[in-house]
Structure formats: structure tokens, C-alpha cells
Structure 1
Amino acid sequence: MTVNPVQLQKFLGGLDYPVGKEDLLRRAQERGADTAVLETLRSLPADRFNSPNDVSEAVGKLR
């Protein structure tokens, strides 16, 4: 199950882009993301993201 992109962004705020998937996972874990959020991030097909919008678009494609 994927999470809402807006919900996801609350765990990723403050990141300097571009970032890798591991950076996204690390930030989400630091901010207390639950298992659903972490699994969604792990499922993203890209390994690098240039902006928060790139992350949101990738999450939207998982649905």
C-alpha cells in the first residue's frame, strides 16, 4: 500500500535536492515515518530525485 504524497513530504522536509533514495529513507526514519512510508520509499523505481515534486510523481505512479 502506498501513502499519500503530501503525507510523505512531511517526513522529507528540509532535504537539499538532488538526493538519493537512501537519503530519503534516512530522513523519513529520522522523522519517525511508519512502515508504510518506508516501504513506499523503498518501492520507488528511481534512485535519484531532483525535487520534492519528483518524489511525489514517483509515489503517484506506484498506485
Structure 2
Amino acid sequence: MADLSPIDLQKALKGADYPASRDDLVSLARSNGADDTLVEKLTQAGSEQFDGPNEVQKAVFDNE
């Protein structure tokens, strides 16, 4: 997947309970079948803890 979209991120994080740690979100994304690019972006997200999906989206897409 060359270009990630917010929809891809939403699908990857389906079922997430917030607040959530970055590691928990990475694990959830993997179990939801997210591709390696999205998992890598989550792994590199700047925060250790996220209060909601908007924070995750901002961390993932602001680093592009």
C-alpha cells in the first residue's frame, strides 16, 4: 500500500479501547491485518499513550 488513508488507520484500529498505549495499538493493528507500512508508522508515532483515535491519526499522518 503506497498511500495510507485515515480509513486504513480506522480499520486497523477497529476495536481499540482508549486511552491506549502505542504498543497495544500496534498489536491490535497487526491482529486486524494492517499492512507493514501502517504498522511501521504506528511504531514510529511520537507518543507512548493515545487518548483517542484523533490523536493517533494526527501522530501517524503528521509525520509523513
- The residue aligned with 1:16 is 17
8 Å Cα contact 1:19-1:48 kept in structure 2: yes
Q: Structure 2 length as normaliser, TM-score?
A: 0.87
Q: Percent identity?
A: 37
Instruction: Name structure 2 gaps, 5 residues minimum.
Output: none
Tell me how many residue pairs correspond in the alignment.
63
Report the aligned-residue RMSD.
Answer: 1.5
* Greater per-residue helix proportion: 1
Give the TM-score taking structure 1 as reference length.
Answer: 0.88
Q: Secondary structure at 2:62's aligned position in 1?
A: helix
